[in-house]
Amino acid sequence: MSAQKPILQLHNIEVKYHEVILVLKGVSLEVPEGGIVALLGANGAGKSTTLKAISGLLKHEEGRVTDGAIEFRGEQIHRKDPEEIAKMGIYQIIEGRRVFEHLTIEENLRVGGHLRGNSQSLKERLEMVYSYFPRLKEKRNLVAGFASGGEQQMTVIGRALMASPKLMLLDEPSMGLAPLLIKEIFEIIQRLNQEERIPILLVEQNVKLALTVAPYAYVMENGRIVMDGPSEVLKQNPDIRDFYLGLTDLGERKSFRSVKHYKRRKRWLT
Q: Does 48 bind Mg ion (CB under 5 A)?
A: yes
Looking at residue 69, its amino acid is A
The region of 37-45, 101-109, 145-153, 159-167 touching ligand ATP under the rule CB under 6 A is 37-45
Partner interacting with residue 83 (select from ligand ATP, Mg ion, none; CB below 5-8 Å by kind): none
Of residues 136 and 240, the one with the C-beta less far from ligand ATP: 240
Q: Is 195 in the site for ligand ATP (CB under 6 A)?
A: no
162: helix, coil or strand?
coil
Query: φ and ψ at 228, to 5 degrees?
Result: -155, 155
Distance CA 195, CA 19 (A): 42
The item of ligand ATP, Mg ion, none sharing an interface with residue 45, based on CB under 5 to 8 Å by kind, is: ligand ATP
For ligand ATP, how many residues bind (rule: CB under 6 A)? 13
Our CB check for ligand ATP shows the closer of 20 and 180 to be 20
Site membership for Mg ion, residue 92 (CB under 5 A) = no
Q: Helix, strand, coil: what percent of the chain each, to 5?
A: 45, 25, 30
| 8-27 positions binding ligand ATP, by CB under 6 A | 17, 21, 23
CA distances to 8, 37, 203, 233 from 34, rounded to whole Å, are 11, 10, 17, 21
44 binds ligand ATP (CB under 6 A): yes
Residues belonging to the chain: 270
Taking CB under 6 A as the rule, does residue 139 contact ligand ATP? no
Using CB under 6 A as the binding rule, whether residue 41 contacts ligand ATP is answered as yes
Q: Which residues pair with 67 in a beta bridge?
A: 14
Q: Please list, in sequence order, all residues whose beta carbon lies within 8 angstroms of the beta carbon of residue 253, skipping any fewer than 6 positions away.
A: none
Say whether residue 176 binds ligand ATP (CB under 6 A): no
Query: Judged by CB under 6 A, which of 10, 30, 36, 48 binds ligand ATP?
Result: 48
Q: How far is the CB of 133 from ligand ATP (least distance, A)?
A: 25
Could you give the CA distance from residue 216 to residue 267 in angstroms, rounded to a whole number? 26
Rounded CA gap, 151 and 141, in Å?
12
Residue 46 contact among Mg ion, ligand ATP, none, beta carbon within 5 to 8 Å by kind: ligand ATP
Q: Is 61 one of the binding residues for ligand ATP (CB under 6 A)?
A: yes
